Amino acid sequence: MRGLIKKLFNNIYKNQVKRRTDKSFAKRAEWTVRTLVALILVLNLGTIGCIMIFKGEEYREIAADNQLTDTIIEPIRGTIYDRNMTPLATSTAAWILSVNPTEIRRKFRENKQFQDEFYNDLTDNLVRILGVDREETLAKLKKEDSVYQVIKKQVTGAERIELEEFFAQKYVFEYEKEVTKFFFFKTTENKKFKVNAANFFDFENNSNREYAKGNFASTVIGVVNADNKGETGIEAYYDETLQGESGRILTATDVAGRELENPYKAYYDAVEGNGVVLTIDYEIQNYLENALNQAYDSISCDGVYGIVMDVDTGAILALADKPDFDLNNPRVLNENVNTDTLKKFEKGTTEYSTEYSRLLYEQWSSFCVTSNYEPGSSFKIFCASAALEEDIVGSIDEKIYNCSSSTRVADTTYHCANYKAHGAQSLTQGLMNSCNTFFITLGQKLGIETYYKYFEAFGFTERTGIDVSNEAYSVVHKKDKMSKVDLASTSFGQGFRISPIQLITATCAIANGGNLMVPYLVGSVVDEDGNIVSQTEPTVKRKVISEETAAQVRRMMTAVVSDGTGRNAKIDGYAVAGKTASAQKLDDSAEDEVYVASFICFAPADDPEVAILVGVDNTHDGYRSGGAVAAPIAKQVLEPTLEYLNVERKYTPEELSKLSKTTPELIGKTVSAAKSIAAGESLKIKVVGDGDTVISQMPAGLQSIPQGGVIVVYTENSGSPQKVKVPDFTGKTVSQVNALAAECGINIKFSGPTDEAGVKAFDQSVEKGTKIDLGSSITVSFKSENIMTD
How far apart CA 282 and CA 739 sit, in angstroms, is: 38
Which pLDDT band, with edges at 50, 70 and 90, does 702 fall under? confident
Strands 771-773 and 723-725, bridge-based pairing: antiparallel
What lies within 8 Å, CB to CB, of 327 at 6+ separation is 89, 211, 213, 214, 215, 216, 218, 221, 223
State mean pLDDT over 221-241.
94
The pLDDT of residue 296: 93
How far apart CA 384 and CA 426 sit, in angstroms, is: 12
Backbone torsions φ then ψ of 646, nearest 5 degrees: 60, 35
State mean pLDDT over 153-162.
88
pLDDT for residue 556 is more than 60: yes
pLDDT for residue 262 is more than 80: no
Which pLDDT band, with edges at 50, 70 and 90, does 93 fall under? confident
Which pLDDT band, with edges at 50, 70 and 90, does 393 fall under? very high
Give percent above pLDDT 90 in the chain.
53
State mean pLDDT over 341-347.
88
**Core vs surface per residue 687-706: b (16+ CB within 10 A) or e:** bbbeeebbebbbbeeebebb
Comparison of pLDDT for 697 and 216, the residue scoring more: 216
What residues are paired with 339 via a beta bridge? none
Question: Nearest 5 degrees, angle CA 73-CA 76-CA 77?
Answer: 130
Question: Nearest 5 degrees, angle CA 305-CA 307-CA 312?
Answer: 165
How far apart CA 198 and CA 163 sit, in angstroms, is: 9
The pLDDT of residue 569: 94
> What is the dihedral sign for C-alpha 443, 448, 450, 455?
positive
pLDDT for residue 161 is more than 60: yes
Which pLDDT band, with edges at 50, 70 and 90, does 46 fall under? low
pLDDT for residue 9 is more than 80: no
Task: Compute the mean pLDDT over every residue in the chain, rounded to the nearest whole number.
Answer: 86
Which range has highest mean pLDDT (9-13, 265-269, 575-579, 680-684)?
575-579
Which pLDDT band, with edges at 50, 70 and 90, does 505 fall under? very high
The pLDDT of residue 789: 67
Comparison of pLDDT for 693 and 706, the residue scoring more: 693
Q: Is 159 helix (H, G, I), strand (E, B) or coil?
A: helix
Which pLDDT band, with edges at 50, 70 and 90, does 396 fall under? very high
Beta strands in 7-163 (DSSP E): 68-73, 80-81, 87-99, 149-155
Go through the chain and tell me how many residues it has: 790
What residues are paired with 268 via a beta bridge? 248
How far apart CA 193 and CA 173 sit, in angstroms, is: 5
Comparison of pLDDT for 190 and 231, the residue scoring more: 231
Segment holding 551, helix H or strand E: helix 547-563
Comparison of pLDDT for 191 and 166, the residue scoring more: 166
The pLDDT of residue 246: 77
The pLDDT of residue 197: 85
Which pLDDT band, with edges at 50, 70 and 90, does 388 fall under? very high
Q: 484-491 and 436-457 are packed helices; what angle lies between their axes, rounded to 10 degrees?
A: 100
Structure confidence by residue, pLDDT tens digits, 465-483: 999 989 999 999 999 999 9
Of 41-55, 89-103, 770-784, the least confident: 41-55
State mean pLDDT over 680-688.
88
CA 347 from chain centre, in angstroms, equals: 27
Beta strands in 14-56 (DSSP E): none
Segment holding 252, helix H or strand E: strand 247-252
- The answer to whether 310 and 359 are in contact (CB under 8 A) is no
State mean pLDDT over 288-306.
93
pLDDT for residue 33 is more than 90: no
The pLDDT of residue 426: 95
Please report, as a single letter, which amino acid is at residue 420: K
Question: Nearest 5 degrees, angle CA 418-CA 422-CA 423?
Answer: 145
The verdict on pTM exceeding 0.85 is: no
The pLDDT of residue 162: 92
Structure confidence by residue, pLDDT tens digits, 315-335: 999 999 999 999 999 999 988
The pLDDT of residue 642: 97
Comparison of pLDDT for 514 and 260, the residue scoring more: 514
| Full 3-state SS string of 523-548 | EEEECCCCCEEEECCCCEEEECCCHH
Q: Is 654 helix (H, G, I), strand (E, B) or coil?
A: helix
Of 199-203, 346-350, 719-723, 742-746, the least confident: 719-723
The pLDDT of residue 322: 95
CA 545 from chain centre, in angstroms, equals: 33
Comparison of pLDDT for 605 and 710, the residue scoring more: 605
How far apart CA 360 and CA 378 sit, in angstroms, is: 31
Q: Contacts by 670-674 with C-beta closer than 8 Å and gap 24+? A: 670/694, 671/713, 671/715, 674/711, 674/713
The pLDDT of residue 562: 93
pLDDT for residue 221 is more than 90: yes
Segment holding 317, helix H or strand E: strand 316-322
Residue whose C-alpha is closest to residue 699's, from 710, 715, 683: 710
Residue whose C-alpha is closest to residue 665's, from 692, 694, 643, 644: 694
Of 485-494, 525-534, 696-705, the least confident: 696-705
pLDDT for residue 673 is more than 80: yes
The pLDDT of residue 621: 66
Q: Is 448 helix (H, G, I), strand (E, B) or coil?
A: helix
The pLDDT of residue 586: 60
The pLDDT of residue 727: 93
Structure confidence by residue, pLDDT tens digits, 619-666: 876 667 899 999 999 999 999 999 999 999 988 888 777 777 888 999
The pLDDT of residue 337: 86
What is the rounded (10 degree) CA torsion for 617, 621, 624, 629?
Answer: -80
Which pLDDT band, with edges at 50, 70 and 90, does 705 fall under? confident
How far apart CA 509 and CA 383 sit, in angstroms, is: 14
pLDDT for residue 425 is more than 90: yes
The pLDDT of residue 785: 74
pLDDT for residue 53 is more than 70: no
The pLDDT of residue 641: 97
What lies within 8 Å, CB to CB, of 95 at 6+ separation is 154, 155, 160, 203, 204, 205, 206
pLDDT for residue 183 is more than 70: no
